[in-house]
Amino acid sequence: MAKLTKRSDDYSQWYNELVITADLAENSAVRGCMVIKPYGYAIWEKMQQELDRMFKETGHVNAYFPLFIPKSFFSKEASHVDGFAKECAVVTHYRLKNDPDGNGVIVDPDAKLEEELIVRPTSETIIWSTYKNWIQSYRDLPIKCNQWANVVRWEMRTRLFLRTTEFLWQEGHTAHETKQEAIDETETMVQVYANFAEQFMAMPVLQGVKTANERFAGALETYTIEALMQDGKALQSGTSHFLGQNFAKAFDVKFATKEGTEEYVWASSWGVSTRLMGALVMAHSDDFGLVLPPKLAPIQVAIVPIYKSEEELNKISVVVNEIVAKLKKRGISVKYDNSDNRKPGWKFAQYELQGVPLRLAVGPRDIANNTVEVARRDTLTKEVVSIDGVDAYVADLLETIQENIYKKALDFRTENTTEVNSYEEFKEVLNNKGGFVMAHWNGSAEIEQKIKDETKATIRCILLNGDKTPGKCMVTGEPSAQRVVFARAY
């Protein structure tokens, strides 16, 4: 297998090669759609597992809504249509037939649907048309549903995990009695995402709200978590939307209050997608391959035996099997790779490429000395330690690695966050350094657009708990309430 392109040579090629060679995903026969391979899917499953647990802890339940949405539902919320209309796949027919000219099958023109169906790009409309039937009184509220699903957005250009035509995600949709309750829910969920990103992905994120330009189609407020990739570009990694009463009004969802009056329901929606896989890859990995945080690694420890003869392997296996049993007892996922069709050197390189946090090697020398060689993926360092107590050692080390890669990412972000006070300085930092640029802005959509047109940088968010010192807009000199976060983004 050839060496990866270096990040410094071509970051985007490095990413593409890494996703494929680490066996996470590949392009499929369908344009813009990917095949998530077992190793990549195993990481996604671990993400799902943790997120699902966090959703349930915060009072949510899972449900499932249809893939298809009647076209008429879509037109009910005006800004929502505007946002998604350009990227919707549409089902127009329900039957094929044999081509009378003998060229395989064709769409049967007699099987045209009376009402065309949209393949969901997101499910607000189908869900709110359903919630209408579920909600009569305040006693029916709140409703806090999540669904794990696939969605389709017909993108022009796609990249594995970062932007694909079909992708997997979860979408939470909640209905509340009061405005404040819906806002609280929106904020709770962006906090859940931030906790997940930091504690499990070891990826520091900024929390903030989007400007009107960047807001979700149909939302009154969009909260976001923004992560910084190693090439200095930002990646929106999760969003949580306060939808106000927009969808309740569009679908006529009202409830009877305690006082006997009738009110529209307040709503939120929130989601993260397989894009998180892209974030995970770009946050930690290096020129040797993937670096996975132990908490999300499908294999936390790989053990490679080094032997000449079969009897030597048997001796090693006895010792290794004990180690495996002890590690499993601690809940550590371990793979003893005693396959004989690859050489140790090949296995070392392979586990490195796939980001396995720890690799143990056991050979005749170790058997003689009662030792094992422990290699860390994050630092690429090796140590020889005693087999006695190796399980405790490994358990500690996995925690250390989790912390270390988080710290490394956090240091990187700190180094690549720059305050600027003039538009000149702003452009200079963007072009020469990248990263998050903290600058004052007058709050107008026009200036935001002008900056985007001139520099390709967008406002990633307005920090929830950032520095609130006022200043002057870097472009117009007008008053600004606080600095906002700019960056070039994926």
Contact residues toward RNA (CB under 7 A) are 1, 3-4, 12, 16, 27, 31-32, 83, 86-87, 153, 155-159, 162-165, 167, 214, 216, 236, 239, 273-275, 288-289, 306-309, 340-341, 343-346, 348-350, 352-353, 359, 361-367, 373, 375, 380, 382, 456
Closest contact distance (angstroms) between CB of 134 and RNA is 27
CB 222 within 8 A of CB 210: yes
Nearest CA to 44 out of 249, 261, 281 is that of 281
Q: Which amino acid is at 393?
A: Y
Nearer to RNA, 237 or 480 (CB): 237
User: CB neighbours (10 Å) of residue 258?
Assistant: 9
Distance CA 310, CA 359 (A): 22
How many Å apart are CA 328 and CA 39, to the nearest integer? 20
The two structure tokens encoding residue 155 = 């993108």
Q: Which is nearer to RNA, 415 or 454 (CB)?
A: 454
Query: Minimum Å distance from CB 353 to RNA?
Result: 5
Output the smallest distance, CB 341 to RNA, in A.
7
User: For residues 339 and 307, is the Cβ–Cβ distance under 8 A?
Assistant: no
Q: Are 462 and 480 in contact (CB under 8 A)?
A: no
CA distance 464 to 460: 12
Type of residue found at 291: V
Q: In the bound complex, what is the minimum distance in angstroms from residue 234's beta carbon to RNA?
A: 10
Strands 334-336 and 301-305: parallel
Shortest reach from residue 299's CB to RNA, in Å: 15
Which of 86/329 has CB closer to RNA?
Answer: 86
Q: Which are the contacts of 263, defined by CB distance < 8 A and separation ≥ 6?
A: 177, 254, 255, 257
CB 203 within 8 A of CB 406: yes
Shorter beta-carbon distance to RNA: residue 87 or 252: 87
3-state secondary structure of 477: coil
Nearest residue to 240 via CA among 170, 149, 140: 170
Confirm if 471 and 480 have CB atoms less than 8 A apart.
yes
Amino acid found at 106? I
Strand ranges inside 257-324, DSSP E:
262-264, 266-273, 301-305
The Cα–Cα gap between 57 and 432 comes to: 44
**How many whole angstroms separate alpha carbon 361 and alpha carbon 373?**
5
Residue with tokens 């939307």: 241
User: Are the C-beta atoms of residues 21 and 4 closer than 8 Å to each other?
Assistant: yes
Cis amide leading into 142 (omega within 30): yes
Provide, rounded to whole angstroms, the least separation between the CB of residue 254 and RNA: 29
CA-nearest of 1, 481, 485 to 225 is 485
Report CA dihedral (79, 81, 84, 85) to the nearest 10 degrees. -140
